[in-house]
Structure formats: structure tokens, C-alpha cells
A and B are shown apart, each in its own frame.
Chain A
């Protein structure tokens, strides 16, 4: 996938981040080919560890995913979006493992 697509995704996610609540501390993404061989964008919505338990309910996370998908669509990103969620501590642990590897 091209640099232009990467930039468009970054721009879209930056816009989406502004529309998300404060307990969303980051958006991480990866462009890749999915298991069906189609180009896709994987987005992880990173949620603060101190956020109340109710933010993890499906009724609370689903609209966050919608914001991300709408932002990607509005930016003309023609990739299938896979939106996932992680706690900040989980993301930090995976980042540390990658750094020390």
C-alpha cells in the first residue's frame, strides 16, 4: 500500500481522535493484507486504564468504532477497517516486548 494511503489514514485517525472521549488515549493502526488477501486497515482504540468499567461495555465501545470507521470513509480510505480495543497497559506491554526483542 502506498505512502499516500498511509497519510490519508493518519489524517483520518487524527480527526477521529478529536471526536473521541478523553478516556481514549491513542489510536494505533497498521496497514496490511487480511487473511482473505484484501488490503485492510487495523485500528486499535487504546483506552486509559483508569477509565470506569462501563466504558468497556459493547454499547460504549461500538460508537467509538463507528467514529473511526466514519472518519476513514470520509477521508476516502477504501480499505476494510478492523477496529479493535486495548487497555493502555496492554498496549504498553506489547510495545515493551517489541522494543526488547
Chain B
């Protein structure tokens, strides 16, 4: 699976140089950690929302509809534990710790990906990059625990539809 390969590659990049790490390696590690989580969630969106053989052919199309900034906005809401009314109506309870961990990691990782890819003032250390990769790894574990719950499906729907939902609330 692409998302698992990206996660492994992130850790590999952060440890690539035996001695002093290159900024290029650490930045790519951070960026790759974000894309690992992004592709995990994209995979889950398309798998869980388009089930069975009938939906299989359309899954790549659904994945392409995801917008990074909207996913971050949705994740901020779930991470904070307070959902807007239009979403809260469909939630049985507050997001679980596992789901909040996934959402919080997504926000952190996207922000760090932005810094890694665009902010040349920013410097990354190896320990720093590895803890960011660990955040992605923890999010994968948390998602594995949460993915079968109703709240996970709600989260996936929100990742895809946040912008129009907020426009109508």
C-alpha cells in the first residue's frame, strides 16, 4: 500500500545519513510523513465511501476530490473535540481519543510539510524529523483502532465535504 511505503520511506529518509543529516533528507522525511497520513486517509475515504466491486473503479476519482486545506480545517475541528452543529447532529458523542489523535496529527503534519517544502528559514534536526515521523506512525495506529467506528466514517465524510458543509451551516 502506498501509504505504508511512504511511512517507511519517511523514517528511512530521516535516518539516511550516518553522520550529519542533510536538510534535504530531513525535509523530505517530514513531507513524506505527511503524505503517508494523507494517502492513508485518502485510501480510507475511497474504500469506505465506495464499497464493493461497483465502487472500485471510481475510488481514484474520489481520492482526487480531497483538498488538503479542507482536510486540515476538518481535522482541526475533530482534534479540538468541538464539532460544528451541522456535523454534531450526526455524531453520537465527542470524538474519541484515537480519532482526535489522527486529526491532531494531520494538522501538525500538514503544517510541518508546508514548512519543510516551502520555508527556507526553517531548519530541521534529525531528532525533530524523527518525532514528526513518530507522530504519523502513532496516527496510523490510532486510525487502526478507530476506523471501524461510526465516528470514523463521519470523519471521512467531513474530510471530503468540509468546505460545502461549512458554507451551508
Contacts and interface: CB of A to CB of B under 8 A. Distances in A.
Interface in B118-143: 123, 125-128, 130-132, 134-135, 137-138
B111 A82 contact: yes
Chain A interface mostly helix, strand, loop or mixed? mixed
Contact residues of B: prevailing secondary structure? helix
A80 B114 CA distance: 16
A23 B111 CA distance: 27
Contacts of A93: 125
B137 A86 contact: no
A84 B128 contact: yes
Q: Tell which of A35, A44, A62, A80 has the most Cβ of chain B within 10 Å.
A: A35
Contacts of A34: 111
Contact of B131 (A36, A56, A91): A56
Interface string A50-81: 00000011100110000000000000000010
Interface residues of B, number: 23
Given A36-B69, A94-B125, A84 B130 contact: no
Contacts of B134: 57-58, 61
Contact of A35 (B76, B110, B123, B131): B110
B27 interface: no
A87 B114 CA distance: 22
Nearest to A85: B131
Nearest to B80: A80
Contacts of A85: 127-128, 131
24 contacts: A35-B115, A36-B73, A47-B127, A56-B130, A56-B131, A58-B134, A61-B134, A62-B138, A80-B107, A84-B128, A84-B131, A85-B131, A86-B125, A86-B127, A86-B128, A87-B126, A87-B127, A90-B125, A90-B128, A91-B125, A93-B125, A94-B123, A94-B125, A97-B123
Interface of B: 69, 72-73, 76, 107-108, 110-112, 114-115, 123, 125-128, 130-132, 134-135, 137-138
